[in-house]
Structures are given as structure tokens and as C-alpha cells.
């Protein structure tokens, strides 16, 4: 018999749309919800969407509050919380937080601290991929310790190369180097940026691939060694290495290659002994070679579209796995890999309060009007999407995630466009006009895109 410990109360150590997403999952499971909020989030919506809400990080900054491990644990203990969901960002990939939860007898809804640690360090993650027999991009096996090492890597593999922070994430901590003359300065900058952004100056080098697609595979794994994949997402539509539009499944990869990539992801997570939800990311070159880049040991922003094509609730599965259920138990209901099938196509757009006409500068202020699109096949995951909401400069600019599902890709794109045109947001500019251009673009509609699409397609900005 599996050892199951059902949760009565779950705290979400996060804010915005992902906090609300997790509350919804809990409520449907009959679990009481606890929100925490910073002083700056005093009137933010997530606080009012939980059964209970408590201030954390008093006197601290807006970000620091959500990183205040002891303040969050204090709230959890005082209010008989059984488990904490970290969402994404903030403490989601902080192994120390997962350990502290364990020490306090609170379940961390996510992987074990060892896996957070292993995949939080991109160099360790690469090493794991190599052990699992998965192709990695030619790169330095360890963080580099000298300028000479970098020079010889460049000479051996040719330019361009990319400098990456070992602890980097969110598209930050990367620097592309086109020629040897730029190397010294780029290295110095990358190191100091990595140190200040991630508290770790270690950087490593990779060959910079030309026009790859970003393909990632969603994994679910229970405590008993069962691992499944929920197929792939294409997240190639990026701006400055950050995802803007995501599609599931991939439109343009040959079937055999998709299968190979899905299998590789499965193999890696099996080999690592991973537990809970995670994503394995790959780059795929125009000649259809695929390479591992990293594992994200947490729920991702774009998990919504995988839920739409598989019908599997990833956040509820995370909770059930953390309670101790096996994948095949009726509470999760995934009997085998073969039983998971996909239907149709889903697209997600990240609507942000950024002005596309002014280089995506973040906007702040009050939403004087907020009306969203909708209809069959549309899913909305909003943080502060309501008339009167105040958009502050303290947090990232994600306003609402719009996901569209249809039986075929073209219909999903049309549905997305139609929905975007229905939005009426006043008071603060958004990137909706830009997103409308993306989802109508002929290259988007034929799946003919890679990670350089936005940077090389001027008409998107018109």
C-alpha cells in the first residue's frame, strides 16, 4: 500500500496568476488555501482568492518578502499548513527552502532538494544528461576558470559561442560572443552579472547554435518510480531569450524526431530518479539535431497548453504526487504512458503590461477598463486582470495568460487572434497589438519559426 498523507491546507508561496492557479486546483480537491502577500501586494488579487491570507516579510522589499523563508514558514506553522506550493520563480528552485520545509514537517510540493540542487546548476544538469546518453551542445564540462580556457574553447569550436551563468534562469545570465576580441570583456561582464543576479559568478561556455527551435517536454513522476511524459511544447517564439508565445504540440517537427525527444526526456528523468512535475528543455537545429539544454524542476508558466491537449491537470497531479499517490491511482488516473493521448492544438500568449511601440518598456498605473476575450476553447489565467487594478513596478509585467485550444493548429491560431481582438484594456498599454501580429504571421501559421523569429521579423512591430 502506498503511504498517502492527504493535505487539509496548502499555502502558496507566490503571487499573481500562478498563486491563483494553485488555489483553484486545491479548492477543486477540497483543500483549504492560504495566501501570503507582501506589503506592496496589499490589494493584489491573489490575496483575496484564498481562504486565508497573511502578510509576510514586513518591512522588506517587494521581492524580498516572497524570498523570506522564515517568515513564510512562520505563517505556515502558525496556521496548521500541511504543504507549500512554490509556484514558479521566487523560492521554487531554492533547495534550502525545500530542506527547511522538511525540517518543519511541512511537505514541499515539488521535487526533492537534491534534484532542485542538481538541476539548478546547469553544469551538473548537463553532466546528468551526458550520463543518461542524451546529446548536449558542445560546451565546457565545468565552469571555466581562466580566460585562456575560453580562448581555446573558441578556437576549437568556432564562433559564435554563448557564455552562460551556471545558476542562471529566466533568459538572464547569457551573453553571445561573436569574435575572440570580444571574449575578455564579455567574460568579465557575464561573471559580474551572474554574481549579482544569482549570487554565483560561475559561468560556462557553449557553442551558440544558429536558428534553433526550443522544444521542451513535460514530465510527471511519482515516488514509486513511475515516470511519464505529456508530450512537447514549442517555445521558440521568444524575445531576448524569453518565451512570448508557446504551442503544444510542436507543429513542424518530424514525427520520429518528436518521439526521440520525448523519449530522451523520459530517460533523463528516470535516470535521475526525479519526482513530481518537471520540464526537460532541448534546442533543435534546422538540420534536425536535438540537444539538451536544461531541466526546470517546477511547474512552468506554459503548463496550461499541455493541460489543454492532454486533459491532465498538472498542478493537481503535483499535489497528489506530493500527498503520496502513485500516477495510476484514481486520484491522478494515469495508468500508463500509452494511455496518455493528445487531442488538437493549444497556443498560449503571455499578455504583458509592456508597450511594444516603446521597446516593450513596462507600464504602470491603474487599469481604467479591463474586459477579456473568451468563448469556447479559451482559457484565461490572470493575476491582476480587473478594472481598477493597479499595476506596480515591483513585479514582472505578466497580466494574463491567454490559451486557445482547437482541433487543428490553424483554428487555434484564428481563435487566439479573435480572442486577442476582443480584449479592451485601458489605462495601461499592453503587448496585445504585437501578439496579434505574431499569431497572424504567415510563418507562425505554417510553423516555420525558430528562436530568432521575433528578432528577425520587422513587420511584427508595425
Say if CB 34 and CB 11 are below 8 A apart: yes
Nearest distance from C-beta of residue 144 to ligand ADP, angstroms:
15
Residue 93 interacts with ligand ADP (CB under 6 A): yes or no: no
Residues 414-453 that bind ligand ADP (CB under 6 A): 451
The answer to whether 232 contacts ligand ADP (rule: CB under 6 A) is no
Q: Does 168 bind ligand ADP (CB under 6 A)?
A: yes
Would strands 227-239 and 213-221 be described as parallel, antiparallel, or unpaired? antiparallel
Is residue 134 involved in binding ligand ADP (CB under 6 A)? no
Which listed range, 25-33, 169-177, 244-252, 322-330, lies at the site for ligand ADP (CB under 6 A)?
Answer: 169-177
Q: Minimal distance in Å, beta carbon 404 to ligand ADP?
A: 22
**Is residue 171 at the binding interface for ligand ADP, with CB under 6 A as the rule?**
yes
Closest residue by Cα to residue 302 from 235, 358, 367: 235
Residue 79 CB, shortest distance to ligand ADP, in Å, is 34
| Per CB under 6 A, 279 contacts ligand ADP | no
209 lies in the site for ligand ADP, by CB under 6 A: yes
Q: How far is the CB of 202 from ligand ADP (least distance, A)?
A: 14
CB of 294 to ligand ADP, least distance (A): 5
Residues 6+ away with beta carbon under 8 Å from 262: 217, 229, 231, 232
Select 37 or 208, whichever has its Cβ closest to ligand ADP. 208
Interface with ligand ADP in residues 6-35 (CB under 6 A)? none
Q: Which is nearer to ligand ADP, 143 or 168 (CB)?
A: 168
Nearer to ligand ADP, 170 or 388 (CB): 170
Instruction: Indicate whether 241 belongs to the interface with ligand ADP (CB under 6 A).
Output: yes
Q: Applying CB under 6 A, which part among 51-59, 102-110, 164-172, 260-268 lies near ligand ADP?
A: 164-172
Q: Which stretch binds ligand ADP (CB under 6 A): 100-108, 196-204, 208-216, 437-445?
A: 208-216
Which residue in 207, 213, 243, 415 is the catalytic one?
243
Query: CA-CA distance, 20 to 317, in Å (whole number)?
Result: 16
Q: What is the 3-state secondary structure (H, E, C) of 145-192?
A: CCHHHHHHHHHHHCCCEEEEEEEEECCEEEEEECCHHHHHHHHHHHHH
Interatomic CA distance for residues 47 and 169, integer angstroms: 27
443 annotated active-site: no
Contact with ligand ADP (CB under 6 A): which of 170, 273, 286, 410?
A: 170
Q: Residue 116 interacts with ligand ADP (CB under 6 A)?
A: no
- Should residue 206 be labelled a site residue for ligand ADP when binding is judged by CB under 6 A? yes
Cell of 290: 536535438
Minimum distance, C-beta of residue 172 to ligand ADP, in the bound complex (Å): 6
Q: Which of residues 242-271 bind ligand ADP (CB under 6 A)?
A: none
As given in the structure block, the three cell numbers for residue 340 are 496518455
The verdict on 294 binding ligand ADP (CB under 6 A) reads: yes
Closest to ligand ADP by CB, 10 or 161: 161
Contact 243, 300 (CB under 8 A): no
Establish if 323 lies at the interface with ligand ADP (CB under 6 A).
no
Give the residue numbers annotated as catalytic, written as ranges: 243
Binding site for ligand ADP (CB under 6 A): 137, 162, 168-172, 206, 208-209, 212, 214, 238, 241, 281, 283, 293-294, 451
Amino acid at each position: 500500500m502506498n503511504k498517502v498523507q492527504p493535505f487539509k491546507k496548502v499555502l502558496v508561496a507566490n503571487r499573481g496568476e500562478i498563486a491563483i492557479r494553485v488555489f483553484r486546483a486545491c479548492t477543486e480537491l477540497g483543500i483549504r488555501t492560504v495566501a501570503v502577500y507582501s506589503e506592496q501586494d496589499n490589494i493584489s488579487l491573489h490575496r483575496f482568492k484564498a481562504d486565508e491570507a497573511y502578510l509576510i516579510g514586513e518591512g522588506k522589499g517587494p521581492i524580498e518578502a516572497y524570498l523570506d523563508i522564515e517568515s513564510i514558514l512562520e505563517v505556515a506553522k502558525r496556521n496548521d499548513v500541511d504543504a507549500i506550493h512554490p509556484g514558479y520563480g521566487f523560492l521554487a528552485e531554492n533547495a534550502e527552502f525545500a530542506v527547511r520545509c522538511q525540517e518543519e514537517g511541512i511537505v514541499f510540493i515539488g521535487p526533492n532538494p537534491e534534484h532542485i540542487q542538481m538541476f539548478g546548476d546547469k553544469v551538473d544538469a548537463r553532466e546528468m544528461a551526458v550520463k543518461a546518453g542524451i546529446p548536449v551542445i558542445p560546451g565546457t564540462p565545468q565552469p571555466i576558470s581562466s580566460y585562456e580556457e575560453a580562448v581555446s574553447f573558441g578556437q576549437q569550436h568556432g564562433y559564435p559561442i554563448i557564455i552562460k551563468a551556471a545558476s542562471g534562469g529566466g533568459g538572464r545570465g547569457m551573453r553571445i560572443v561573436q569574435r575572440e576580441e570580444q571574449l575578455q570583456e564579455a567574460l568579465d561582464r557575464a561573471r559580474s552579472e551572474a554574481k549579482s543576479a544569482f549570487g554565483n559568478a560561475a559561468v560556462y561556455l557553449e557553442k551558440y547554435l544558429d536558428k534553433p527551435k526550443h522544444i521542451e517536454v513535460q514530465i510527471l513522476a511519482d515516488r514509486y518510480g513511475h515516470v511519464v511524459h505529456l508530450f512537447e511544447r514549442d517555445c521558440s517564439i521568444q524575445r531576448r531569450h524569453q518565451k512570448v508565445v508557446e504551442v503544444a504540440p510542436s507543429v513542424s517537427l518530424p514525427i520520429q524526431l518528436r518521439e526521440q525527444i520525448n523519449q530522451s526526456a523520459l530517460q533523463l528523468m528516470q535516470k535521475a530518479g526525479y519526482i513530481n512535475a518537471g520540464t526537460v528543455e532541448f534546442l533543435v537545429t534546422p538540420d534536425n539535431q536535438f540537444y539538451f539544454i536544461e531541466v526546470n524542476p517546477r511547474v512552468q508558466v506554459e503548463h496550461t497548453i499541455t493541460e489543454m491537449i492532454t486533459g491532465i491537470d498538472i498542478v493537481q497531479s503535483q499535489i497528489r504526487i506530493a500527498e503520496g499517490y502513485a500516477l495510476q491511482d484514481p486520484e491522478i488516473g494515469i495508468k500508463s504512458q500509452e494511455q496518455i493521448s493528445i487531442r488538437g492544438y493549444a497556443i498560449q500568449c503571455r499578455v504583458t503590461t509592456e508597450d511594444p511601440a516603446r521597446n516593450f518598456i513596462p507600464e504602470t498605473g491603474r487599469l481604467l477598463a479591463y474586459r477579456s476575450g473568451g468563448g469556447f476553447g479559451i482559457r484565461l489565467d490572470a493575476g491582476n486582470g480587473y478594472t481598477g487594478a493597479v499595476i506596480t513596478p515591483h513585479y514582472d509585467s505578466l497580466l494574463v495568460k491567454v490559451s486557445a485550444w482547437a482541433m487543428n493548429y490553424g483554428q487555434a491560431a484564428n481563435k487566439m487572434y479573435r480572442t486577442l481582438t476582443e480584449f479592451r484594456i485601458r489605462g495601461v498599454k499592453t503587448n496585445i497589438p504585437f501578439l496579434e501580429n505574431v499569431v497572424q504571421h504567415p510563418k507562425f501559421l505554417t510553423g516555420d519559426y525558430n528562436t530568432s523569429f521575433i528578432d528577425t521579423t520587422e513587420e511584427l512591430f508595425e
